[in-house]
Amino acid sequence: MTEATETCRRHLDLEIPGPEVEKTTERVARDLARVARVPGFRPGKAPVSLIRRRFTEEIKGEVLEKLVPQYLEKAVTEQKFSIVTRPQLDQVDWVEGGGVKFRATFEVLPEFDLGDYKNLTVELPSMDLTDADVDRALQQMRDRAATYAPIEGRPAQDGDYAVLKVLGIPKDGGPPIQADDVMCHLGGDETVAAFNENLRGAQVGDERNFDAVYPEEFPDARLKGKTISYTVNITGLKEKKLPALDDAFAKDVSQAATLEELRKQLREQMEKARDRRRDEMVRGKIIGELVKRHSFPVPEALVEQQMDARLRNLVRALASQGTDPRGVNVDWAALRARQRDPAVDEVKTEILLDRIASAEKIEVSDEELDKEIAHAAEHSGESAQALRARLTKEGSLDTMKSKLQNEKTLEWLQRAARIETASK
């Protein structure tokens, strides 16, 4: 046996003894003789010796199919390999005397020693929830419930919302930018400075012409680093009207009967969201620390699968937003290649969690799996029995069980870790 210890690829050089090959060859040839059609002979009457000469390659192929798996399985068991890819055969040699030599190449799960995973320290930022946080959430609700009243008899000033018809011509000759009924918040931090400067004092019906220079770090890819010559028509001016922060407002925007009750509900919701975010941060830091503490190779096949999965998730996200991925100008090969590092970390995480689960005897019970299937069935519209049957047929039931085991292992690690809050 030869192996590359810096990777998960392994080779096994094996030999099937001549007597075993001959016995199996004779059996395969006799089975074939019963059904083979050979000119000059009635079906099933051709001699086995002729069948062996006439169908040599077919017989060899079937002999390999019958013998290789059992010899390979025995060797893999003796070597205590955990295979993760289908073995590929090469260097098949039918040696003199009737035996067969071959090489099987495959990838295995890595062998490594678990480091300290029971005494992890995780530092989190302060996540205290204050009355000011609740006030900000209330203000956001007021903003969403705001109305916009027309302004008459005066020009635009900071704080107003100008309704615009916009035509922008890039200086580099790119495609024009056109939009109607754009709401522009004058003086707002989110508004490009050129719009603030050129629209102050404008009246409805005015037309303004000016250039806007966008920085390289501007978030819109169509505009960053460009200079755009704008022609802007002011079709309306509006003033934002916020509702009063009182019990009537609380009833309008929620099921609460009073403003105080709305505050209480908001705080509870924000605390739950804070706790979920805290758990996600803790688990993310635990995973990061585990990966950092353990150095081992990972099977290339699993990394490739994870890269494909990440790309599929991106395509689904685009489709869910109504974007046809085929129409997006993206170098998909380069995008997939950029998934490699996170994919390697994800595969390492899966292997580490599985090893820790084995070490700590963390298992998923039948009751826990049934509960997860029932929960998934509620969202899929299937019965739990039908969903279990489908997952079993697709080979996905073990995947679901593995995910549940990972969740239980992360919960165990979270309980074992020391959580510290950083100073503000």
The per-residue DSSP string of 150-219 comes to E--SS---TT-EEEEEEEEEETT----EEEEEEEEETT-TTS-HHHHHHHTT--TT-EEEEEEE--TT-S
Pairing of strands 227-241, 177-185: unpaired
Task: Identify whether residues 234 and 282 lie together within a single domain.
Answer: no
* In-domain check, residue 257: no
* In-domain check, residue 133: no
Instruction: Specify the residue for token string 């580490």.
Output: 352
Task: Name the band, by pLDDT with cuts 50, 70 and 90, for residue 157.
Answer: very high
Task: Identify whether residues 338 and 388 lie together within a single domain.
Answer: yes
Per-residue confidence (pLDDT) for residue 3, from 0 to 100? 40
Task: Give SS3 for 274.
Answer: helix
Q: Which tens digits make up the pLDDT trace of 42-60?
A: 777 788 888 888 888 898 8
Task: Identify whether residues 74 and 156 lie together within a single domain.
Answer: no
Task: Identify whether residues 93 and 201 lie together within a single domain.
Answer: no
Listed in sequence order, the residues at least 6 apart from 420 whose beta carbon sits closer than 8 Å to its beta carbon are 121, 122, 123, 124
Given a cut of 50, whether residue 181 has pLDDT beyond it is yes
53-62, 115-124, 316-325: which has the minimum mean pLDDT? 316-325
As a whole number, mean pLDDT of residues 268-286 equals 94
Given a cut of 60, whether residue 20 has pLDDT beyond it is yes
pTM above 0.85, yes or no: no
Q: How far is CA 231 from each of CA 166, 177, 200, 210, rounded to the nearest angstrom?
A: 6, 10, 15, 7
Task: Identify whether residues 295 and 390 lie together within a single domain.
Answer: yes
Per-residue confidence (pLDDT) for residue 103, from 0 to 100? 92
Instruction: Specify the residue for token string 């705001």.
Output: 146
Task: Identify whether residues 293 and 180 lie together within a single domain.
Answer: no
Given a cut of 50, whether residue 4 has pLDDT beyond it is no
Expressed as residue numbers, the domain containing 203 is 147-241
Report CA 36 to chain centroid distance, whole Å. Answer: 52
Task: Identify whether residues 298 and 346 lie together within a single domain.
Answer: yes
